[in-house]
Amino acid sequence: MDRFVQLHLLTSHAPANLNRDDLGRPKTAIMGGATRLRISSQSLKRAWRTSEVFAQALAGYLGTRTKEMGVRVCTRLLEAGAKDKNAREWARAIAGVFGTLESTKDGGEELDLRIKQLVHFSPEEMQAIDDLVTKLTERGSTPTDEELELLREGSIAADIAMFGRMLASKPRFNVEAAVQVAHAITVHKVAVENDFFTAVDDLNDGQDDIGAGHMGETEFGAGLFYQYICIDRQLLLENLGGREDLSQRAIAALVEAAAKVSPTGKQASFASRARASYIFCERGDVQPRSLAVAFLDPVSDRSVLASAIEKLTETGTRMAKAYGDEPAHVAVMDCHAGTGSLAEIIACATE
Protein backbone atom coordinates (compact mmCIF):
# COMPACT_ATOMS: atom_id res chain seq x y z
CA MET A 1 0.00 0.00 0.00
CA ASP A 2 1.13 3.56 -0.77
CA ARG A 3 0.82 4.90 2.75
CA PHE A 4 0.36 8.64 2.34
CA VAL A 5 -1.89 10.84 0.25
CA GLN A 6 -1.01 14.53 0.21
CA LEU A 7 -3.38 17.13 -1.18
CA HIS A 8 -2.42 20.68 -2.11
CA LEU A 9 -5.34 22.94 -2.99
CA LEU A 10 -5.67 26.54 -4.16
CA THR A 11 -9.12 28.03 -3.54
CA SER A 12 -10.12 31.64 -4.16
CA HIS A 13 -12.62 33.23 -1.80
CA ALA A 14 -14.29 36.52 -2.71
CA PRO A 15 -14.97 38.93 0.20
CA ALA A 16 -16.01 36.77 3.15
CA ASN A 17 -15.69 36.16 6.88
CA LEU A 18 -15.77 32.37 6.95
CA ASN A 19 -13.88 31.86 10.19
CA ARG A 20 -13.96 34.55 12.90
CA ASP A 21 -11.87 35.21 15.98
CA ASP A 22 -13.27 36.18 19.39
CA LEU A 23 -13.81 39.76 18.17
CA GLY A 24 -15.69 38.74 15.04
CA ARG A 25 -12.78 39.54 12.69
CA PRO A 26 -11.57 37.14 10.00
CA LYS A 27 -8.74 35.04 11.41
CA THR A 28 -5.24 36.01 10.28
CA ALA A 29 -1.63 34.87 10.59
CA ILE A 30 1.76 36.47 9.99
CA MET A 31 3.83 34.49 7.49
CA GLY A 32 6.94 35.71 5.73
CA GLY A 33 6.50 39.05 7.48
CA ALA A 34 3.10 39.62 5.84
CA THR A 35 -0.43 39.35 7.18
CA ARG A 36 -2.45 36.54 5.63
CA LEU A 37 -6.07 35.53 5.99
CA ARG A 38 -6.44 32.18 7.72
CA ILE A 39 -9.13 29.52 7.98
CA SER A 40 -8.50 27.21 10.93
CA SER A 41 -8.29 23.47 10.48
CA GLN A 42 -11.02 23.04 13.10
CA SER A 43 -13.39 25.17 11.02
CA LEU A 44 -12.55 23.29 7.84
CA LYS A 45 -12.97 19.84 9.39
CA ARG A 46 -16.28 20.82 10.95
CA ALA A 47 -17.55 22.05 7.58
CA TRP A 48 -16.49 18.85 5.82
CA ARG A 49 -17.72 16.49 8.55
CA THR A 50 -21.21 18.04 8.59
CA SER A 51 -21.49 18.54 4.83
CA GLU A 52 -23.96 16.94 2.45
CA VAL A 53 -20.98 15.32 0.74
CA PHE A 54 -20.16 13.35 3.91
CA ALA A 55 -23.81 12.72 4.74
CA GLN A 56 -24.47 11.13 1.35
CA ALA A 57 -21.19 9.26 0.89
CA LEU A 58 -20.88 7.98 4.47
CA ALA A 59 -24.48 7.58 5.63
CA GLY A 60 -24.54 5.27 8.65
CA TYR A 61 -20.80 5.63 9.19
CA LEU A 62 -20.61 9.02 10.90
CA GLY A 63 -20.33 9.75 14.60
CA THR A 64 -22.12 12.32 16.75
CA ARG A 65 -20.13 14.89 18.75
CA THR A 66 -21.94 16.29 21.77
CA LYS A 67 -21.88 17.13 25.49
CA GLU A 68 -25.64 16.62 25.73
CA MET A 69 -25.89 12.81 25.80
CA GLY A 70 -27.09 12.75 29.41
CA VAL A 71 -29.82 15.28 28.60
CA ARG A 72 -30.86 13.25 25.55
CA VAL A 73 -31.03 10.00 27.53
CA CYS A 74 -32.95 11.61 30.42
CA THR A 75 -35.50 13.08 28.00
CA ARG A 76 -36.06 9.71 26.36
CA LEU A 77 -36.51 7.98 29.72
CA LEU A 78 -39.01 10.59 30.90
CA GLU A 79 -40.97 10.33 27.66
CA ALA A 80 -41.11 6.56 28.16
CA GLY A 81 -42.66 7.04 31.60
CA ALA A 82 -39.68 6.71 33.94
CA LYS A 83 -39.82 8.61 37.22
CA ASP A 84 -37.84 11.84 37.28
CA LYS A 85 -35.41 10.62 39.96
CA ASN A 86 -34.73 7.35 38.13
CA ALA A 87 -34.40 9.05 34.73
CA ARG A 88 -31.81 11.49 36.04
CA GLU A 89 -29.89 8.79 37.94
CA TRP A 90 -29.76 6.42 34.98
CA ALA A 91 -28.90 9.21 32.53
CA ARG A 92 -26.01 10.31 34.76
CA ALA A 93 -24.75 6.74 34.92
CA ILE A 94 -24.80 6.38 31.13
CA ALA A 95 -23.29 9.79 30.32
CA GLY A 96 -20.68 9.36 33.05
CA VAL A 97 -19.23 6.38 31.17
CA PHE A 98 -17.91 8.80 28.54
CA GLY A 99 -16.50 11.55 30.76
CA THR A 100 -16.79 13.67 33.88
CA LEU A 101 -20.16 15.35 34.26
CA GLU A 102 -20.68 19.03 34.94
CA SER A 103 -22.00 20.02 38.34
CA THR A 104 -23.56 23.47 38.24
CA LYS A 105 -26.79 25.18 39.23
CA ASP A 106 -29.11 27.39 37.20
CA GLY A 107 -31.84 29.08 39.22
CA GLY A 108 -31.50 26.47 41.92
CA GLU A 109 -31.81 23.57 39.47
CA GLU A 110 -28.98 21.06 39.54
CA LEU A 111 -27.43 20.69 36.08
CA ASP A 112 -25.44 17.49 36.20
CA LEU A 113 -26.38 15.68 33.01
CA ARG A 114 -23.93 17.31 30.61
CA ILE A 115 -20.45 15.96 29.97
CA LYS A 116 -17.71 18.55 30.55
CA GLN A 117 -15.82 17.56 27.41
CA LEU A 118 -17.25 17.26 23.91
CA VAL A 119 -17.40 13.53 23.16
CA HIS A 120 -17.45 12.02 19.70
CA PHE A 121 -19.79 9.03 19.89
CA SER A 122 -19.46 6.29 17.29
CA PRO A 123 -22.58 4.77 15.65
CA GLU A 124 -21.99 1.56 17.64
CA GLU A 125 -21.91 3.51 20.90
CA MET A 126 -25.05 5.43 19.98
CA GLN A 127 -26.81 2.14 19.22
CA ALA A 128 -25.59 0.60 22.50
CA ILE A 129 -26.96 3.60 24.42
CA ASP A 130 -30.31 3.40 22.62
CA ASP A 131 -30.55 -0.33 23.32
CA LEU A 132 -29.80 0.20 27.01
CA VAL A 133 -32.38 2.98 27.30
CA THR A 134 -34.96 0.63 25.80
CA LYS A 135 -34.06 -2.08 28.33
CA LEU A 136 -34.30 0.34 31.25
CA THR A 137 -37.71 1.61 30.22
CA GLU A 138 -38.99 -1.94 29.85
CA ARG A 139 -37.79 -3.31 33.19
CA GLY A 140 -37.58 -0.12 35.29
CA SER A 141 -34.38 -0.91 37.17
CA THR A 142 -30.87 0.53 37.50
CA PRO A 143 -28.32 -0.40 34.76
CA THR A 144 -25.72 -2.99 35.76
CA ASP A 145 -21.97 -2.47 35.53
CA GLU A 146 -21.87 -4.88 32.61
CA GLU A 147 -24.59 -2.96 30.78
CA LEU A 148 -22.65 0.27 31.29
CA GLU A 149 -19.71 -1.04 29.26
CA LEU A 150 -20.79 1.19 26.39
CA LEU A 151 -17.45 2.41 25.04
CA ARG A 152 -16.22 0.61 21.93
CA GLU A 153 -12.72 0.02 20.62
CA GLY A 154 -12.57 -0.06 16.84
CA SER A 155 -15.37 1.64 15.02
CA ILE A 156 -17.09 2.14 11.70
CA ALA A 157 -17.23 5.90 12.32
CA ALA A 158 -15.34 7.28 9.33
CA ASP A 159 -15.10 10.80 10.77
CA ILE A 160 -13.61 9.52 14.04
CA ALA A 161 -11.16 7.37 12.07
CA MET A 162 -10.12 10.38 9.99
CA PHE A 163 -10.07 13.17 12.57
CA GLY A 164 -9.48 11.23 15.77
CA ARG A 165 -11.04 11.19 19.22
CA MET A 166 -9.68 12.04 22.65
CA LEU A 167 -11.33 10.96 25.89
CA ALA A 168 -9.23 12.43 28.69
CA SER A 169 -10.60 10.07 31.33
CA LYS A 170 -10.68 6.97 29.07
CA PRO A 171 -7.44 7.03 27.03
CA ARG A 172 -7.85 3.39 26.06
CA PHE A 173 -10.62 4.47 23.72
CA ASN A 174 -8.74 7.36 22.11
CA VAL A 175 -8.33 7.28 18.33
CA GLU A 176 -5.29 8.79 16.60
CA ALA A 177 -6.30 10.96 13.67
CA ALA A 178 -5.40 9.50 10.28
CA VAL A 179 -5.88 12.86 8.56
CA GLN A 180 -3.79 15.94 9.26
CA VAL A 181 -5.26 19.26 8.14
CA ALA A 182 -3.27 22.49 7.98
CA HIS A 183 -4.77 25.91 8.49
CA ALA A 184 -5.55 27.40 5.08
CA ILE A 185 -3.68 30.65 4.43
CA THR A 186 -3.70 33.18 1.62
CA VAL A 187 -0.73 33.01 -0.75
CA HIS A 188 -0.52 36.81 -0.76
CA LYS A 189 -0.65 39.52 1.88
CA VAL A 190 -4.05 40.90 2.83
CA ALA A 191 -5.73 43.70 4.72
CA VAL A 192 -8.89 43.01 6.70
CA GLU A 193 -11.49 45.57 5.60
CA ASN A 194 -14.61 47.03 7.22
CA ASP A 195 -18.09 47.03 5.72
CA PHE A 196 -20.32 49.75 7.16
CA PHE A 197 -23.96 48.93 6.45
CA THR A 198 -27.43 50.28 7.17
CA ALA A 199 -30.88 48.74 7.21
CA VAL A 200 -34.08 50.61 6.32
CA ASP A 201 -37.30 50.29 8.32
CA ASP A 202 -39.94 49.25 5.77
CA LEU A 203 -42.72 51.06 7.67
CA ASN A 204 -40.80 54.33 7.96
CA ASP A 205 -42.31 56.67 5.34
CA GLY A 206 -39.62 59.31 5.90
CA GLN A 207 -42.05 61.96 7.12
CA ASP A 208 -40.68 62.19 10.64
CA ASP A 209 -37.41 60.28 10.48
CA ILE A 210 -35.34 59.75 7.36
CA GLY A 211 -32.50 57.99 9.18
CA ALA A 212 -31.62 54.30 8.96
CA GLY A 213 -33.43 51.80 11.15
CA HIS A 214 -30.15 50.09 11.97
CA MET A 215 -26.44 50.68 11.41
CA GLY A 216 -23.67 48.18 11.79
CA GLU A 217 -20.19 47.15 10.78
CA THR A 218 -18.71 43.82 9.77
CA GLU A 219 -15.18 42.90 8.74
CA PHE A 220 -14.12 40.79 5.79
CA GLY A 221 -11.25 39.77 3.60
CA ALA A 222 -10.65 38.12 0.24
CA GLY A 223 -7.88 35.98 -1.13
CA LEU A 224 -6.48 32.86 -2.75
CA PHE A 225 -5.93 30.21 -0.07
CA TYR A 226 -3.38 27.40 0.00
CA GLN A 227 -4.66 24.28 1.77
CA TYR A 228 -2.58 21.22 2.72
CA ILE A 229 -4.01 17.86 3.81
CA CYS A 230 -2.13 14.65 4.61
CA ILE A 231 -3.93 11.29 4.80
CA ASP A 232 -2.27 8.27 6.43
CA ARG A 233 -4.08 5.54 4.50
CA GLN A 234 -2.57 2.76 6.59
CA LEU A 235 -3.70 4.29 9.89
CA LEU A 236 -7.12 5.07 8.45
CA LEU A 237 -7.53 1.43 7.45
CA GLU A 238 -6.46 0.30 10.93
CA ASN A 239 -8.86 2.76 12.58
CA LEU A 240 -11.69 1.29 10.52
CA GLY A 241 -10.86 -2.27 11.49
CA GLY A 242 -9.52 -3.23 8.07
CA ARG A 243 -12.67 -2.15 6.19
CA GLU A 244 -10.96 -1.19 2.92
CA ASP A 245 -14.22 -0.37 1.13
CA LEU A 246 -15.16 2.10 3.87
CA SER A 247 -11.63 3.53 3.95
CA GLN A 248 -11.80 4.25 0.20
CA ARG A 249 -15.22 5.86 0.55
CA ALA A 250 -13.93 8.03 3.39
CA ILE A 251 -10.94 9.24 1.37
CA ALA A 252 -13.11 9.97 -1.67
CA ALA A 253 -15.59 11.92 0.46
CA LEU A 254 -12.79 13.91 2.10
CA VAL A 255 -11.22 14.85 -1.25
CA GLU A 256 -14.58 15.92 -2.66
CA ALA A 257 -15.51 17.92 0.45
CA ALA A 258 -12.12 19.66 0.55
CA ALA A 259 -12.59 20.70 -3.07
CA LYS A 260 -16.22 21.81 -2.81
CA VAL A 261 -17.19 22.70 0.77
CA SER A 262 -16.44 25.96 2.60
CA PRO A 263 -17.07 26.91 6.25
CA THR A 264 -20.45 28.50 6.81
CA GLY A 265 -19.44 31.67 8.67
CA LYS A 266 -21.47 34.66 7.42
CA GLN A 267 -22.41 32.86 4.22
CA ALA A 268 -25.78 34.65 4.18
CA SER A 269 -23.95 37.98 4.00
CA PHE A 270 -21.18 37.04 1.57
CA ALA A 271 -22.19 33.82 -0.25
CA SER A 272 -18.58 32.74 -0.59
CA ARG A 273 -19.32 29.31 -2.04
CA ALA A 274 -15.93 28.65 -3.59
CA ARG A 275 -14.46 25.53 -5.16
CA ALA A 276 -10.81 24.67 -5.53
CA SER A 277 -9.27 25.99 -8.74
CA TYR A 278 -6.19 23.80 -8.46
CA ILE A 279 -5.50 20.45 -6.75
CA PHE A 280 -2.21 18.60 -6.71
CA CYS A 281 -2.44 15.05 -5.31
CA GLU A 282 0.56 12.92 -4.34
CA ARG A 283 0.41 9.27 -3.29
CA GLY A 284 3.32 7.16 -2.06
CA ASP A 285 5.48 6.20 0.90
CA VAL A 286 7.58 9.36 0.85
CA GLN A 287 7.67 11.22 4.17
CA PRO A 288 4.96 13.90 3.93
CA ARG A 289 5.73 17.63 3.75
CA SER A 290 3.68 20.74 3.18
CA LEU A 291 4.55 23.06 0.31
CA ALA A 292 3.54 26.20 2.21
CA VAL A 293 7.14 27.40 1.89
CA ALA A 294 6.28 28.19 -1.75
CA PHE A 295 4.37 31.19 -0.42
CA LEU A 296 6.79 32.36 2.26
CA ASP A 297 7.35 35.32 -0.05
CA PRO A 298 3.82 36.58 -0.78
CA VAL A 299 2.63 36.35 -4.36
CA SER A 300 2.49 39.88 -5.71
CA ASP A 301 1.90 39.39 -9.44
CA ARG A 302 -1.37 40.51 -11.00
CA SER A 303 -2.13 36.96 -12.15
CA VAL A 304 -2.28 35.57 -8.62
CA LEU A 305 -3.66 32.13 -9.46
CA ALA A 306 -1.26 31.45 -12.32
CA SER A 307 1.71 32.62 -10.24
CA ALA A 308 0.61 30.55 -7.24
CA ILE A 309 0.31 27.42 -9.39
CA GLU A 310 3.75 28.04 -10.85
CA LYS A 311 5.30 28.59 -7.40
CA LEU A 312 3.65 25.49 -5.98
CA THR A 313 4.74 23.30 -8.88
CA GLU A 314 8.32 24.59 -8.86
CA THR A 315 8.66 24.15 -5.10
CA GLY A 316 7.40 20.57 -5.24
CA THR A 317 9.72 19.69 -8.12
CA ARG A 318 12.82 21.27 -6.56
CA MET A 319 12.16 19.76 -3.15
CA ALA A 320 11.74 16.28 -4.65
CA LYS A 321 15.00 16.72 -6.59
CA ALA A 322 16.89 17.95 -3.52
CA TYR A 323 15.72 15.10 -1.30
CA GLY A 324 15.58 12.46 -4.00
CA ASP A 325 12.11 11.26 -3.04
CA GLU A 326 9.63 11.69 -5.87
CA PRO A 327 6.07 10.58 -5.01
CA ALA A 328 5.05 7.30 -6.65
CA HIS A 329 1.82 8.68 -8.15
CA VAL A 330 0.56 12.18 -8.87
CA ALA A 331 -2.55 13.77 -10.35
CA VAL A 332 -3.36 17.41 -11.09
CA MET A 333 -6.62 19.26 -11.59
CA ASP A 334 -5.99 22.72 -13.00
CA CYS A 335 -9.14 24.73 -13.74
CA HIS A 336 -7.00 27.70 -14.83
CA ALA A 337 -5.42 25.64 -17.63
CA GLY A 338 -8.52 23.50 -18.18
CA THR A 339 -6.77 20.20 -17.46
CA GLY A 340 -7.46 17.30 -15.14
CA SER A 341 -10.60 16.58 -13.10
CA LEU A 342 -11.76 15.93 -9.56
CA ALA A 343 -12.47 12.32 -10.57
CA GLU A 344 -8.78 11.89 -11.47
CA ILE A 345 -7.72 13.33 -8.11
CA ILE A 346 -10.05 10.96 -6.24
CA ALA A 347 -8.79 8.02 -8.30
CA CYS A 348 -5.19 8.88 -7.46
CA ALA A 349 -6.02 9.19 -3.75
CA THR A 350 -7.95 5.93 -3.50
CA GLU A 351 -6.18 3.49 -5.82
- What per-residue confidence (pLDDT) applies to 108? 46
Q: What is the pLDDT of residues 197-226, one digit of tens each?
A: 778 888 887 777 777 778 778 888 999 999
Run means of pLDDT, 10 residues per run, the chain, 351 residues: 94 93 91 96 96 97 95 94 92 94 67 90 96 92 94 92 92 95 97 84 77 81 96 97 96 98 89 95 96 96 94 96 93 97 98 88
pLDDT of amino acid 1:
74
How many alpha carbons lie under 13 Å from residue 226 in its C-beta half-sphere? 27
**Can you give the length of the chain in residues?**
351
- Confidence (pLDDT) at 39: 96
The predicted pLDDT at position 110 comes to: 53
Q: How far is CA 222 from CA 54, 180, 306, in A?
A: 27, 25, 17
Among 17, 19, 66, CA closest to 42 = 19
Task: Write the pLDDT tens digit of every residue in 83-118.
Answer: 999 999 999 999 999 999 988 766 545 568 999 999
Residue 65: name the closest of 21, 99, 35, 26 by CA: 99
Q: What local confidence, expressed as pLDDT, does residue 107 receive?
A: 52
Domain ranges of the chain: 4-62+176-193+223-350, 65-154
E strand or H helix at 49? helix 41-49
pTM: 0.91
Burial class (CB in 10 A: 0-12, 13-18, 19+), 330: middle
